[in-house]
Amino acid sequence: MNLQDKVAVITGASSGIGAAIATNLDAAGMKLVLTARSQQKLTELASKLQKAVILPGEITDPALPQQLLDKALAEFGQLDAVINNAGVMHMMSIEEADIEALCTMIRVNFEAVVRISYAMLPYLKQQGSGFIVNISSISGLKTTPMTGVYDGTKHALEAFTDSLRMELAGSGVGVATVEPGAVATNLYESWRDRGKQGFDEIVPDPLKSEDVARCVRFILEQPNGVLVPRLFVVPATSPV
Ligand code: NDP
């Protein structure tokens, strides 16, 4: 897809990978609708971009997906890509688990993506073109102790996305996942709050958010008729 003047919704755009995706797609000439909870961070980011509007919100709010679609159509008259990037990561043994935090993580990392897909796919299918790119993780491909629920959300995202890919074959709408290894972002704050190291500290030379943003753009920029359904990207020094 030629990205010039195309329109994307990006979730989790207030920091880390989402903000980098916004910056990269803006440089490619896309018009953007940015969402996350932090209005101030979104406002600051949008002010640096060429054509970006914001719609702050809680990603688990069932009303938000339709509001995001309506915002894209009202502001820019079309929607071409949805980047489901918002996510949280809680790592804890089942004994020390904060069960509400774990169940909220399931809603943020997985249920919200299903709701957004449900709200936006009818529009994209009718248009006969478009993309949904879901930011999964290396944790969608393998698992480790203490991260079973997070890994489960990303495995579910992998299954949902690949199923959708087959369901949408021939519709002109592509779906894909990106599976990053460790990236230096705020994702591990809840873990650090508990006095433990994030994976970005354990893995030497973690990826930068910009590295993941380039992968998203690579997927979107494939010519018509070519789909890259999965893109697994890790630091060259990653031991896992
Ligand atoms: P950050 O913590 O920097 O970004 C997370 C984003 O999600 C923020 O913009 C945050 O915005 C938003 N978000 C979180 N909870 C909610 C919520 N309830 N409602 C709305 N927005 C929410 O982490 P990353 O950039 O690292 O994470 C982005 C994605 O990348 C996640 O899906 C993560 O699982 C994935 N990933 C990250 C890796 C890493 O090593 N960092 C590795 C592999 C995958 P706000 O707080 O303003 O709401």
* 206 secondary structure, DSSP code: P
pLDDT digits (tens, 9 = 90+) for 125-153: 999 999 999 999 999 999 998 899 999 99
Distances from the Cα of 221 to the Cα of 2, 144, 174, angstroms? 6, 33, 12
Domain edges within the chain: 7-233
- C-alpha 28 to ligand 1 mean position (Å): 23
Q: Which CATH superfamily is domain 7-233 in?
A: NAD(P)-binding Rossmann-like Domain (3.40.50.720)
Q: If you measure from the C-alpha of residue 126 to the centroid of ligand 1, how many angstroms do you get, rounded to a whole number?
A: 30
pTM above 0.85, yes or no: yes
Ligand 1 pocket, residues with Cβ under 6 angstroms: 12-18, 36-38, 41, 58-60, 85-89, 108, 135, 137, 180, 182-183, 185-187, 199-200
| pLDDT tens digits, 14-61 | 999 999 999 999 999 999 999 999 999 999 999 999 999 999 999 999
**Between the CA of residue 227 and those of 89, 183, 231, 235, what are the distances in Å?**
29, 25, 11, 24
Comparing C-alpha atoms, which of 131, 120, 219, 239 is closest to residue 179? Answer: 219
- Residue 111 in tokens: 């249920």
Question: Rounded to an integer, what distance in angstroms lies between the CA atom of residue 194 and that of residue 187?
Answer: 13
Distance from the alpha carbon of residue 181 to the mean position of ligand 1, in angstroms? 14
